[in-house]
Amino acid sequence: MKQSRFTETQIVAILKEADAGIPVNEVSRKHGINSATYYKWKAKYGGLEASSSRACANLNRKARRSSTWLLTSRWRTGH
Which residues have C-beta within 8 Å of that of residue 22, sequence separation ≥ 6? none
Query: Which one, of 61, 45, 42, lies nearest residue 9 by Cα?
Result: 45
Report pLDDT digits (tens) over 5-54.
Answer: 898 889 989 999 999 999 999 999 999 999 999 999 999 888 766 556 56
CA dihedral (32, 4, 11, 23) in degrees, to 10, reads 20
9, 50 in Cβ contact below 8 A? yes
Report pLDDT digits (tens) over 24-37.
Answer: 999 999 999 999 99
Report pLDDT digits (tens) over 50-67.
Answer: 556 566 666 777 777 777
Provide the whole-model pTM.
0.58
Burial class (CB in 10 A: 0-12, 13-18, 19+), 42: middle
